[in-house]
Amino acid sequence: MSDTSPLRPTRRTRLDSYVDRYAARTQGMKASEIRALFAVASRPEVVSLAGGMPNISALPIDAVAETLGDLTRSNGAMALQYGSGQGDPRLREQICDVMALEGISAHPDDVVVTVGSQQAVDLVTRIFCDPGDVVICEAPSYVGALGVFHAYECDVVHVEMDGQGLVPRSLEQAIVAVAAAGRRSKFLYTIPNFHNPAGVTLSAQRRTQILDICAQADLLVLEDNPYGLLGFDAEPMRAMRADDPAHVIYLGSFSKTFAPGFRVGWVLAPHAVREKLVLAQESATLCPPTFSQLAVSAYLEHHDWRGQIKSFNEMYRERRDSMLAALDEFMPAGASWTVPGGGFYVWVTLPEGVDSKTMLPRAVTSRVAYVPGTAFYADGFGSRSLRLSYCHPTPDRIREGVRRLAGVISADLELRETFGTTSATLTRGDERPHPDLE
Amino acid sequence: MSDTSPLRPTRRTRLDSYVDRYAARTQGMKASEIRALFAVASRPEVVSLAGGMPNISALPIDAVAETLGDLTRSNGAMALQYGSGQGDPRLREQICDVMALEGISAHPDDVVVTVGSQQAVDLVTRIFCDPGDVVICEAPSYVGALGVFHAYECDVVHVEMDGQGLVPRSLEQAIVAVAAAGRRSKFLYTIPNFHNPAGVTLSAQRRTQILDICAQADLLVLEDNPYGLLGFDAEPMRAMRADDPAHVIYLGSFSKTFAPGFRVGWVLAPHAVREKLVLAQESATLCPPTFSQLAVSAYLEHHDWRGQIKSFNEMYRERRDSMLAALDEFMPAGASWTVPGGGFYVWVTLPEGVDSKTMLPRAVTSRVAYVPGTAFYADGFGSRSLRLSYCHPTPDRIREGVRRLAGVISADLELRETFGTTSATLTRGDERPHPDLE
């Protein structure tokens, strides 16, 4: 062997031979490191407190089946055809009726139907954000929205939350800091009701304060509200959009109040913004699925959808109560958690020194799954937290899942006492569970 | 009045107060100048030869209704729930069966389901194209794809077509010219079968030549094939993907072979590319609509979908024949047109000096609508051409529409003889009809 021959190839083997061709934005599209683990977590013996799939078992399936058959027979020529990019006019009227429950007075012409509210986040980001623009988000924030902001090469600046939601003072500081750095904030992304993942709700007083802060800074608010009608104890809160139509872009969804399989969400936006969103929607899909839209429209027309939401809420309340009781009963000292008034999620802060991400494989081995807190931060924080969802398993399974989880945490604490602090990982959060996980 | 007071405000009134906030890419999202005209064109007295809506009246609606009802009753818990970002596994198997008709041998794991093939174009562009990248397209090309390329701030370089489709020599020249300019071509976008809008089909010999050219230049091919099974006279052509799985990304759709209202299309891509596409799909929509996917899957399972495509083709052939006969009978000397062997479209070249875009208002006044050729070019060409679609109106209406159109063209020619040449407009082509136009 001559000494010019390398002992091993100097270029490593390329698994992806297309790697030189991808757009820069693909660097913001990461597969979850823990995805493989979630595949294991979907086994029936594992209690998954990880997924956010709504529990649609309470839906009157036979009646829905009849409605869909009737729709096809009576209006198939329309339901099976292309529709407008903005969405079905009758559905947009009905969407305005739904939003009226939260104090919103809107015109159907300012509504754009989207492929779930995920696509709404995508389209709003598409029309507003250039690479390097800043989006201000709660800490923690919805993992699917963070994924969109990464994919559009935005920088996420987090602002603090407490038991009453987004902290106004923290928002003010973030706005000042971004401006001082010569950066541009395009909008505040916020989930005011039954926050995913934090499980808290923004108080009425803070809504006013935050709207004032944003109006003063001329900052748009992206109010993401999939859970607003899923409150357990009180009437729906007044939407932020209800009080500031010019600064707030509002996102809604039928995924939690009816069924996610149709993928029908919407954006309510100021008129000029709505025009841009329609162009973006046409470019993205030509039009959202007509059948889905007319299915939702027929459901709203022919079913007691408010009564159905009440049934959902009773079911979810029972599950939340089961989770909170189990947390009280089993969690070791040093752990704390939020007490959601609705929605799907409890946010747990672990005793100091326990790392939710490194603990996950042990949890799955102990037949319980959750989402590590780091998934919900753009900056690697969250390793002491985790998200538990109570929407899907039965109350008994929830109790058993929390019991197992508490056991894993306690074992971790014991290890730590024996061998010293386990090191916390700081990784960029892409620990997103697959949407079809329980 | 002091002389420092302006006589009128120095800042003009902003109709869109959000204009300073939009992303740069929104400049590539333009509303059609002639959109208002198309609103008029949708009146029943106007024969619209403009829209590309498939004629789904031949579908057995009652049987489809029953299938959808059964699907909901028997599998509602799955059909109404979130699914995977890649799409339903059974549907992806069936998609492979459909593609086998065109000689494609593919694994379901390399298929990604999309919200119509429009979203497939969007996702492929999203993962490959940075602003300023070049996409090579036929001249003319599909208006919806050009819209996506503009929205991603790509530059479109057109290559010539003739009666046998894309001209290989023109492609070679384009590749050389782009490279010589120090630019990067990300892919060739092509519609080999029954081209929209040109109505021509790429010959078998040219397919081989073009694959060779692209392989040599290491250029990917985006083969968009919504019409491949809609041939009137022969068996489906062999897909380009069938002969070069590594360089061809293939797009398909059920919008023309079944129904567009479900918005189910797909991408078949090399494995590494497929992985990126799934991440992009999850960011865009979480998952494509489950109900739509299971509806298409059940339709393929329980209906004679091949027989249905034959019925569609008989209907479309009759309409094409009607259009070609009427063009022969009525068109003035100097006009020429393509003779499609399938699909929806005829491409008409007008006598010299007639401008299809400036003529459109007169055509609509004469109760016939078409799409001006400029819509299908990124560079303002096409003013002497127009696209006629025969997919939706009845044969009699098609004949009457062509008669009216010929009358408008003849009147234009007379005017020109009397007053001299009308000036051709050179405008960027965004004259896209609304998808729900007839």
Q: What does the alpha-carbon distance between residue B163 and residue A1 come to, in Å, rounded to a whole number?
A: 59
Chain A residues with CB under 8 Å of B270 CB are 18
Partner-chain residue, chosen from B82, B260, B285, that has the shortest CB–CB distance to A53: B82
The tens digit of pLDDT for each residue in B177-213 reads: 999 999 989 999 999 999 999 999 999 999 999 999 9
The tens digit of pLDDT for each residue in A102-139 reads: 999 999 999 999 999 999 999 999 999 999 999 999 99
Tell me the CB-side half-sphere exposure of residue A381, using CA atoms within 13 A: 13
Chain A (255-284) residues lying within 8 Å, Cβ to Cβ, of chain B: 255, 259-263, 270, 272-273, 275-276, 279-280, 282-284
Query: Residue B380, Cα to own-chain centre: how many angstroms?
Result: 18
Task: Give me the mean pLDDT over the A9-22 stretch.
Answer: 69
- State pTM to two decimals: 0.93
CB of A296 closer than 8 Å to CB of A91: yes
pLDDT of residue A2: 42
Tell me the CB-side half-sphere exposure of residue A104, using CA atoms within 13 A: 33
The tens digit of pLDDT for each residue in A348-369 reads: 999 999 999 999 999 999 999 9
A148 and chain B: CB distance < 8 Å anywhere?
yes
Chain B residues with CB under 8 Å of A22 CB are 127-128, 276
The tens digit of pLDDT for each residue in A196-209 reads: 999 999 999 999 99
Closest C-alpha among A200, A240, A201 to residue A220: A240
For residue A11, pLDDT over 60 is answered with no
pLDDT of residue B9: 43
The tens digit of pLDDT for each residue in B155-180 reads: 999 999 999 999 999 999 999 999 99
Closest C-alpha among A382, A363, A375, A381 to residue A429: A375
Who contacts A240 (Cβ-Cβ below 8 Å, separation ≥6)?
A190, A192, A207, A210, A211, A221, A223, A248, A250
CB of A438 closer than 8 Å to CB of A40: no
A151 and chain B: CB distance < 8 Å anywhere?
yes
Q: What does the alpha-carbon distance between residue A80 and residue A287 come to, in Å, rounded to a whole number?
A: 12
Q: A422 pLDDT band (50/70/90 cuts)? A: low
Task: Give me the mean pLDDT over the B79-85 stretch.
Answer: 95
- The mean pLDDT of chain B is 91
- Residue B207 three-state SS: helix
B33 and chain A: CB distance < 8 Å anywhere?
no
B323 min Cα distance to partner chain A (Å):
23
Q: B424 pLDDT band (50/70/90 cuts)? A: very low
B369 min Cα distance to partner chain A (Å):
19
**Sole residue written with tokens 């493989």:** A36
Mutation target for A interface from B57, B75, B82: give the one with most A CBs within 10 A: B82
A286 to B116: CB separation less than 8 angstroms, yes or no: yes
B57 to A73: CB separation less than 8 angstroms, yes or no: no
For residue B3, pLDDT over 50 is answered with no
Token output for A36: 């493989």
For residue A15, pLDDT over 80 is answered with no
Task: Give me the mean pLDDT over the B252-261 stretch.
Answer: 97
Closest C-alpha among A87, A93, A86 to residue A108: A93
Token output for A185: 């904030």
Task: Give me the mean pLDDT over the B256-285 stretch.
Answer: 97
Q: What does the alpha-carbon distance between residue B399 and residue B390 come to, in Å, rounded to a whole number?
A: 10
pLDDT of residue B38: 73
Cα first-last separation, chain B: 58
Chain A (55-74) residues lying within 8 Å, Cβ to Cβ, of chain B: 56-57, 59, 61-62, 64-66, 68-70, 72-73
Mutation target for B interface from A20, A26, A80: give the one with most B CBs within 10 A: A80
The tens digit of pLDDT for each residue in A48-94 reads: 999 889 999 999 999 999 999 999 999 999 999 999 999 999 999 99
Token output for B97: 């069966």
Chain B residues with CB under 8 Å of A124 CB are none
Least CA distance to A271: which residue of chain B? B16
B66 to A69: CB separation less than 8 angstroms, yes or no: yes
Burial of residue A1 (number of CB atoms within 10 Å: 0-12, 13-18, 19+): exposed
Partner-chain residue, chosen from A23, A280, A290, that has the shortest CB–CB distance to B126: A23
For residue B64, pLDDT over 60 is answered with yes
Region for B218 from its dihedrals, namely left if φ exceeds 0, alpha if ψ lies in -120 to 50, beta otherwise: left
Omega of the bond leading into A372 within 30 degrees of 0 (cis): no
For residue B425, pLDDT over 50 is answered with no
- Residue A229 three-state SS: coil
Q: What does the alpha-carbon distance between residue B48 and residue B34 come to, in Å, rounded to a whole number?
A: 14
Q: Count A/B contacts: CB-CB distance under 8 Å.
A: 271
- Residue B189 three-state SS: strand
Task: Give me the mean pLDDT over the B318-333 stretch.
Answer: 98
Burial of residue B37 (number of CB atoms within 10 Å: 0-12, 13-18, 19+): middle
A21 to B220: CB separation less than 8 angstroms, yes or no: yes
What one-character-per-residue DSSP string does B113-155 give? EEEHHHHHHHHHHHHH--TT-EEEEESS--HHHHHHHHHTTPE
Taken in order A110, A113, A118, A122, is the CA torsion positive or negative? negative
Task: Give me the mean pLDDT over the B44-61 stretch.
Answer: 93
The tens digit of pLDDT for each residue in B91-116 reads: 999 999 999 999 999 999 999 999 99
Across chain B, which distance is largest between two alpha carbons, in Å?
82
Task: Name the H helices within A237-304.
Answer: 271-285, 290-302
pLDDT of residue B437: 36
Q: B32 pLDDT band (50/70/90 cuts)? A: low
Cβ-based neighbour number of residue A144 at 10 Å: 21
Q: What does the alpha-carbon distance between residue A159 and residue A180 come to, in Å, rounded to a whole number?
A: 16
Partner-chain residue, chosen from A80, A151, A291, that has the shortest CB–CB distance to B59: A80
A179 and chain B: CB distance < 8 Å anywhere?
no
pLDDT of residue A33: 61
CA distances from A320 to A231, A316, A328 (A): 11, 6, 12
- The mean pLDDT of chain A is 91
The tens digit of pLDDT for each residue in A214-261 reads: 999 999 999 999 999 999 988 999 999 999 999 999 999 999 999 999
**Sole residue written with tokens 């489906």:** B236
Percent of chain B with pLDDT over 70: 91
